[in-house]
Structure 1
């Protein structure tokens, strides 16, 4: 993520090359492993700041029953959603704006098993049917969405009555997700800081800055430059921009 001049910047396009290239970098995976230790969710092979602890909490909060539909928006390579769906016995539908991510997610689904499909789409245009989802999850992707009210309207369309939206994101002082959700007709059930997020995120940024050349070799100059800029720009505002986990539900 990036906060330029103290402002929260939601730039999906800026990260497109990172999303395409992330899986080709063993160095980037190693940076996250070192920062998280035993809490690194190896089986999910994620890109981002999700931990085993986060995934366990998301699994609890989505509250889907076996055979029900769980959507994962901004799913990336699909690992976190596949892990949560497997634990709940749910059917997974993953959606991501990056076609290469969707291709990788389909391959990972074959490796991990479970009933899952992945498609190109966005928060604003999921391609899912009206009231088809028992729950929607999202890991570290909602911050990039420009049209948050429009996206929440789309979530209200695809969630069944009483369905839940469970997600992690960052919350700068001027952005109140609880207010946004309430205005969109959701009831906020949980709003909490994710455990040990600041220490780990700073450790990841130190690793990125310490392996700049290797990341550029593995990911290409454009993707590496985006990660390096994030590591440099974001540290100064993290103390006032917590990483949060939020759960909200549509009216029953």
Structure 2
């Protein structure tokens, strides 16, 4: 399908705030030959899958082409590894995003002439040591993009400037991060927005693999997804096996944009 198209720009999008703003930015700059590529991890929340379909239709309405990369998917990767990634051994990102992205680029841009656009912003860094704090405005040869030119037009932007683009696109900024993967690095705010369907999928995968997705040592001893979600909904420092919580009746918010 992509062989007859001359792709000049590539946006790897999660369809969260930054990538949607980047799509609008490309539209306002009247870029042509734009491919918007979603990395399908096979582990998005149910709600996020619906958002991807909606935002793909929006990108197409702007004249852009939309694609999805194919990966082994998080459940099959866990089966292959007979376990789950950890903060120390995060092999999931390479297998689910980077490697499929490289394959997509090789197939659709074999001559490496396309420019890769990313929505990274330095103000997202949590500390001066965070790699995002010194994210480059461009790289002539980006290793993560197969040696192609990479541009990051938002590196010096704050969330307010980004949100102006979203408002011009008619998109309400999300009060949380993208949810294309129920990541092992999910924080309490992430977990509080998981639905019963999301949790049921994780419960079934834990039962099949025979191990918990989230390390108990990092979650006050909570073992298994049901206990981890209960930990996430407990007051700070108050989690305990004897505490009964209404996991889905509370009104929760996200602490990160």
TM-score range, shorter chain: 0.3 to 0.5
TM-score (norm 1): 0.33
Higher helix share: 1
Bigger relative contact order, structure 1 or 2 (CA pairs below 8 A, ≥6 apart): 1
Q: Give the number of the structure whose alpha-carbon radius of gyration is greater.
A: 2
Normalised to the residue count of structure 2, the TM-score between the two structures is 0.33
Which of the two has greater strand per residue?
1
